[in-house]
Structure formats: structure tokens, C-alpha cells
Amino acid sequence: MEEGLHNLESEALTSLGDIRERKALEAWYRSYLGKKGAITEMLRGLGRLPAEERPRAGQTIHRVKERLESAYRGRQKEIEDIGQLSESVDITLPGRPIGPGCLHLSTKVLREIYAVFAQMGFQIYEAPDVETDELNFELLNMPPYHPARDMWDTFWVSDKVLLRTHTSPGQIRAMREFYPEPIRVILPGKCYRYEQITARSEHQFFQVEGLAIGHNITLTDLKGTMIFAARQLFGAERKVRFRGSYFPFTEPSVEVDMDCILCEGQGCRVCKHSGWLEIAGAGMVHPVVLENGGYDPSQWTGFAFGLGVERPAMLKHNIDDIRHFYRNDLRFLRQFG
Ligand code: FA5
């Protein structure tokens, strides 16, 4: 009997392992452990055994019965888990396609700016984000304690090292590298300011600096360059005006305004009803800065400008809050893909 019981147990466990769904599991239970199941029949047959064999045979059958019941409960749990999984995940559905990524709006605008200035022969020159006080301020004609330093709230890394507040320190780097050649470069990059974040101001943003150094460069060249860039970037009918301003590293200094692209100069909320939008700070490179870059100001002249990137992009694409650029919300970013 023991051998027969052993064979029955291993046959039952093998077939249990193959079961994948509830109905087959119930049928398995009926055929081994149910009222008319093989184990129940064996227990009933105990009475036919000689009295002295019954206790031992009874214990053996009960042990097999317990093992099969426990295996049944384990399999039942596994099948329920699989069932729940297949109810919540339809594994027959096709996979979600992963589409191609797209360029960030800032990158797209930067590339448009590169293309416009490339037409005028400006090459790209890159300078580091982490700068020294010397390059960010001192060599740009702002010695320590110069009040104009307050125009740029600064993230200091240490006493003498900072995150550049503008791309202008790259002017000195470019001059020192290109001297004694004439220069025509744009210097794109991130700038950082310890400023209140608002709809128009971030503490990190892009600028594109421009620098041209030569023998007969005048304010007219700066004006022509700004008009060409504004018309290429914002439309052929754009008007540009220069407004007197102050930067310690340019003399004279100007703010470059363009007629408002939303109201065509009529006056609206965006241009604060002036009809004009500021697009860049600019001017003729200050003689002290030329000298600091290694160029003799009696022989050389030059112009420089600093364009924002996000603010013009906001105007062009009607974006009301600069913070969208750094939130990484795909719903925003995909609109420009
Ligand atoms: C400057 O940074 C000067 N270095 C520009 C310059 C270069 C003048 C060369 C003369 C010669 P300004 O602080 O105005 O200037 O910044 C220039 C542009 O950067 C602004 O017109 C604006 O578009 C952008 N900008 C400035 N601060 C922020 C900010 N917090 N968030 C977003 N854009 C900003």
C-alpha cells in the first residue's frame, strides 16, 4: 500500500504543478481530496486492513493528505495572484511606442541665433560658467567696491570665484586668445543671478554675447548688426532703436529696443504700453576693457552686445512665465518639438 500511496502522491504533485487556472485546480482537488477522491477512498479502505496494520496505514495516508492539501493551498494562492495580475495588466495590449525626443526650446532659439550671426561671419566661442571675480568684474572695468557691481546679484563660490552673472567675461578670454587678430564672435552660455524668481526673471538663464574687434568698427556697425539680427529673428518689418544706458565695460552704452511684436508698436500689456521691447544691452567696447584684453585702444575699436534668450523666446512663442523653461514639464516642452 505504501508504494501505491507514494506513487499517487508524486503523480498528484506533478499534475498540480501543471495547473494554470481555477477550474482545473478544483477538478484536481475533487479527484484526490474530494468526497470521492483517491485519498478519501483510501481512508475508507482502512477498515478492510487487518486491525494491527490500520493505525500505521492511517497515519501514512493522513500525512500524504496533509501534504497534498498544503500543496493545493499554495497552488491556489499562486493562481489567484496570476489572475489578479492579468486582470490589472492586459498583456495582450501592444506596447506604448517611445517617440523620438525633441530639442528644448532654449536650444532651438540658441541655434536660430547662431544661424543668424553665422550669416554675418560671427563664430561661436565658449567660455566657462564658473568664473573669477577678476574676469566677471575687475577686467570689465569694475574694480572691487565699484557700485555697478550691484547691477549683478552674484552667486559666490568663494571670495574670488563665482558663477558668471553675464557672458561678458568671455570677451576678455576671447580677446586674449585671438590677439592680435580682429575678432567676430558670439559667446553663448548660461548665466546665474542671485535674484528673486518671477514670471520674467530666473536665477539661471541663457545669454548670447557678441563681440567684434577691428580697426574701424563704429556704433553704426553695432546698429546694423542689431537691426539685421532683430529682423531675421522676429520678422522683416521690425524697427530697432538705441536708448542711452550705462554699462562699465562699454562707452557709449545702449539698450537695444525693438518695436513690440505683439502690438506692432501700438502699445500693449507686454510692452507696458510703450510700443517697444528691450532685446539687448550693448555698446562700444570700453578702452580699459580693450587694453585688458591686450588690444591697444588707439589702434582698435569694437562693439559688444548681450542678448537674452528666454525673454525673446517668450515673446515669440507667447509664453507668459519664464519658469516653464526649467520645469521639465513634457506637455510644455513637446509643443516646440
Ligand atoms: C548684461 O548682462 C550685460 N552683460 C549685457 C551687455 C553685454 C552690455 C555687452 C553691453 C555689452 P543685462 O543685465 O541687461 O546686461 O542682461 C542682458 C539680458 O539678459 C537682458 O536683456 C535679459 O534678456 C537677460 N536677463 C537678465 N537677467 C535675467 C533674468 N534674471 N532672467 C532671464 N533673463 C535675464
Residues 123 and 272 in one domain: yes
Residues 112 and 72 in one domain: no
Residue 205 in contact with ligand 1 by CB distance below 6 A: yes
Ligand 1 atom 32, closest CA: 201
Residue where one domain finishes, among candidates 37, 53, 88: 88
Phi-psi region of 268 (alpha: psi -120 to 50; beta: other; left: phi over 0): beta
Q: Give the mean model confidence (pLDDT) for residues 20-31.
A: 89
Residue 208 in contact with ligand 1 by CB distance below 6 A: no
> ∠ CA(218), CA(223), CA(227), 5° rounding?
155
What pTM did the predictor assign?
0.74
- Residue 4's Cβ-count burial label (10 Å; 0-12, 13-18, 19+) is exposed
- Total tally of structural domains belonging to the chain: 2
For residues 230 and 99, which has the higher predicted lDDT (pLDDT)? Answer: 230
- Residue entry with cell 574694480: 143
* Residue 136 resides in a domain: yes
* Residue 225 resides in a domain: yes
* pLDDT at residue number 285: 98
User: What is the residue-averaged pLDDT of the chain?
Assistant: 92
* Residue 96 resides in a domain: no
Measure the CA–CA gap between 306 and 311, rounded to whole angstroms.
13
* Residue 67 resides in a domain: yes
Measure the CA–CA gap between 90 and 165, rounded to whole angstroms.
53
Residue 286 in contact with ligand 1 by CB distance below 6 A: no
Residues 125 and 55 in one domain: no
Residue 302 in contact with ligand 1 by CB distance below 6 A: no
Q: How far is the CA of 300 from the centre of ligand 1 (A)?
A: 25
* Residue 86's pLDDT band (cuts 50, 70, 90): low
What is the position in ligand 1's atom list of the atom closest to the CA of 311?
Answer: 23
Residues 286 and 260 in one domain: yes
* Residue 94 resides in a domain: no
Report the share of the chain in percent with pLDDT over 90.
Answer: 60
Residues 42 and 170 in one domain: no
* Residue 226 resides in a domain: yes
* pLDDT at residue number 42: 87
Residue where one domain finishes, among candidates 88, 114, 131: 88
Q: Is the pLDDT score of 337 beyond 80?
A: no
- Residue 307's Cβ-count burial label (10 Å; 0-12, 13-18, 19+) is buried
Measure the CA–CA gap between 278 and 257, rounded to whole angstroms.
4
Residue 60 in contact with ligand 1 by CB distance below 6 A: no
Residue 45: give the domain boundaries: 2-88
* pLDDT at residue number 2: 76
Ligand 1 atom 28, closest CA: 201
For 193-215, write each residue's pLDDT tens digit. Answer: 999 998 888 999 999 999 999 99
Nearest to 191 by CA among 308, 47, 54: 308
Residue 134 in contact with ligand 1 by CB distance below 6 A: no
- All cell numbers assigned to 30: 475533487
Q: How far is the CA of 177 from the centre of ligand 1 (A)?
A: 24
Residues 75 and 151 in one domain: no
Q: How far is the CA of 93 from the centre of ligand 1 (A)?
A: 52
Measure the CA–CA gap between 211 and 169, rounded to whole angstroms.
11
* Residue 98 resides in a domain: no
Residues 177 and 267 in one domain: yes
Neighbours of 41 (CB within 10 A): 11
Residue 306 in contact with ligand 1 by CB distance below 6 A: yes
Residue 250 in contact with ligand 1 by CB distance below 6 A: yes
Report the range out of 14-23, 119-128, 232-241, 310-319 with the highest average pLDDT. Answer: 119-128
Residues 214 and 286 in one domain: yes
Residue 168 in contact with ligand 1 by CB distance below 6 A: yes
Q: Is the pLDDT score of 270 beyond 70?
A: yes
Residues 130 and 266 in one domain: yes
* pLDDT at residue number 52: 87
* Residue 238 resides in a domain: yes
Residues 115 and 63 in one domain: no
- All cell numbers assigned to 9: 502522491
> ∠ CA(225), CA(227), CA(230), 5° rounding?
105
* Residue 182's pLDDT band (cuts 50, 70, 90): very high
* pLDDT at residue number 82: 76
Residue 207 in contact with ligand 1 by CB distance below 6 A: yes
Measure the CA–CA gap between 279 and 71, rounded to whole angstroms.
77
Measure the CA–CA gap between 300 and 99, rounded to whole angstroms.
52
Residues 271/241, Cβ–Cβ less than 8 Å? no
Q: Is the pLDDT score of 248 beyond 80?
A: yes
Residues 226 and 319 in one domain: yes
The CATH number given to whatever domain includes residue 131 is 3.30.930.10
* pLDDT at residue number 85: 61
Residue 226 in contact with ligand 1 by CB distance below 6 A: no
For 273-306, write each residue's pLDDT tens digit. Answer: 898 888 899 999 999 999 999 999 999 999 999 9
Residues 276/259, Cβ–Cβ less than 8 Å? yes
Q: How far is the CA of 284 from the centre of ligand 1 (A)?
A: 16
Q: How far is the CA of 296 from the centre of ligand 1 (A)?
A: 27
Residues 152/165, Cβ–Cβ less than 8 Å? yes
* pLDDT at residue number 323: 93
* Residue 84's pLDDT band (cuts 50, 70, 90): low
Residues 144 and 271 in one domain: yes
For 49-82, write each residue's pLDDT tens digit. Answer: 888 888 888 898 999 999 999 999 998 888 888 7
What is the position in ligand 1's atom list of the atom closest to the CA of 207?
Answer: 19
* Residue 267's pLDDT band (cuts 50, 70, 90): confident
